[in-house]
Structure 1
Amino acid sequence: MKRICFVHLLVCLLAWCFCGAKAAGASDDVSQESLYAILSYKFLRYAQWPEEMVADEGELVIGVYGNSSAGRRYREAFSDLCRGLGESAGARCRVVDLSDPSVDTRQLKLVFFAEESRRVPQELMDQLRSQPVVLVGYDDAFLDRGGMIRLKTKRSQGSFDVDLDNVRAVGLDFKSSFLRLADQVRIGGKR
């Protein structure tokens, strides 16, 4: 049942992305970067934030970490998403490059890691793990390094895992409807 719900969500997101791309005159292909950007953004709808953050409905600031060409592609995908949000809903959204150590991480609500987690400086992970920000990545060790949501492809289907201990350690939580969609939910170090 949860696989069907996730597949339905994925199809809806692809359709939304495809229609938006066609309206902008883009190609028919939806890149993995665009898909992961949309999914990561949609995860925010299921996040339950601390009270002080609920009142702060200001600008959505998304951090993307990655020095490689993949990092540049993901930053562009998230920037495209922000432009689309601004045009459709008047939302204020921007993307910052977390490869730049001068970025103030206190303003972030979402961070996407476009690098293997072992390449992310431990100081940055420690800093992000001390504040309520949703951490999304896609490599196998991401949850073990303190990440919250790991995107993955399994038998040509998209899925994700959640480490609820890492989520709750910073005062966040996710709605149970979201957790039911996860392939695996880790609690207490167990899957």
Structure 2
Amino acid sequence: MRRFYRFLNRTGLVALICLISYAGAAAAISASSIEELTLAYLYNFLKFTEWPVADTINEMTICVSKSGRLAANLEALAGHLAQNKKVIIRPLETSKDSHTCQLLFLDQNENSNNISQWLKQAANQPILTVSDKPDFLEMGGMIILIESDNRLQFEVDLTSVRNAGLNLNSQVLKIARDVRGK
């Protein structure tokens, strides 16, 4: 697993594109492969998003609900560099602590009411919100991860991203399955 993250750290977006292509060619994706691809996406979203300068002074923080299935696996990203800043993983118990995050991942198993609360707390703040929950974009989220045709893909609500004062790299937008609000 460590070797996987070192590889991603060195090759960045090119590796992400290759992983997506590889995942699409596989006959079936195992749960562990989905989790690895999800972590790769989150790491690369962190690397290829622009935040207001004051919000990312020395570190980039990925937050996740403590009850989320990726909470423990995200620790594999801790200490890596994204935009020359140390990646910090912060499991959160409540949405009130989300103001410390650059990226907030909300698990598909999270209750829809809880997701609404998390998104309400993150609204109008420079926090990139990502989930694999169906209808996440309709709930006000920014990026949804979708498992489809044995591939893990993503869609972006660019209006939500821009309203938060964030910018996604154009290369990320090119590999998105769909970009709303262009």
Name the TM-score, length of structure 1 as normaliser.
Answer: 0.70
Q: CA deviation at 1:37?
A: 1.6
Contact 1:60/1:94 (<8 A) preserved:
yes
Q: 1:92 aligns with which of 78, 86, 107?
A: 86
Structure 1: stretches of 5+ with no match in the other structure: 14-28
Partner of 2:72, secondary structure, is: helix
Alpha-carbon distance between aligned partners in 2 of 1:187 and 1:81, rounded to the nearest angstrom: 31
Secondary structure of 1:74's aligned partner: coil
1:154 CA displacement: 1.5
Q: Would the aligned equivalents of 1:149 and 1:160 in 2 still touch at CA under 8 Å?
A: yes
User: Counterpart of 2:65?
Assistant: 65
The one of 90, 94, 102 equivalent to 1:101 is 94
Could you tell me which of 18, 36, 39 is aligned with 1:8? 18
Taking the aligned partners of 1:117 and 1:167, their CA distance within structure 2 comes to 23
Identity of paired residues, percent? 28
Counterpart amino acid of 1:82?
Answer: A
DSSP 3-state at the match of 1:112: strand
Tell me the residue number matched to 2:74.
Answer: 78
Measure, in 2, the Cα distance between the counterparts of 1:103 and 1:59.
Answer: 20
For the residues of structure 2 that align with 1:186 and 1:121, how far apart are their CA atoms? 20
Alpha-carbon shift at residue 108 of structure 1 (Å)? 0.6
Partner of 2:137: 143
Q: Please tell me the residue identity of whatever aligns with 1:77.
A: N
In the alignment, structure 1 residue 184 sits paired with structure 2 residue 178: yes
Whole-angstrom distance in 2 between the partners of 1:12 and 1:92? 28
- C-alpha contact (below 8 Å) 2:106/2:132 kept by paired residues: yes
RMSD, aligned α-carbons: 3.0
Residue correspondence of structure 1 range 17-96 to structure 2 within 5 A: 30-53=32-55, 56-65=56-65, 67=67, 71=68, 73-82=69-78, 85=80, 92-96=86-90
- Give the deviation of 1:163 after TM superposition: 0.3
Q: Which runs of 4+ in 1 moved over 6 A?
A: none
Aligned length: 159
Match for 2:90: what amino acid?
A: V
> Do the aligned residues in 2 keep the contact of 1:139 with 1:150 (CA within 8 Å)?
yes
Structure ranking higher in strand proportion: 2
**Residue 105 of structure 1: how far off its partner (Å):** 2.1
Which protein shows a greater Rg?
A: 1
Give the letter aligned to residue 106 of structure 1: H
1:143-165 CA distance string (max 9 Å, x none): 11111111112211121100001
Q: Which of 122, 128, 132 is residue 126 of structure 2 equivalent to?
A: 132
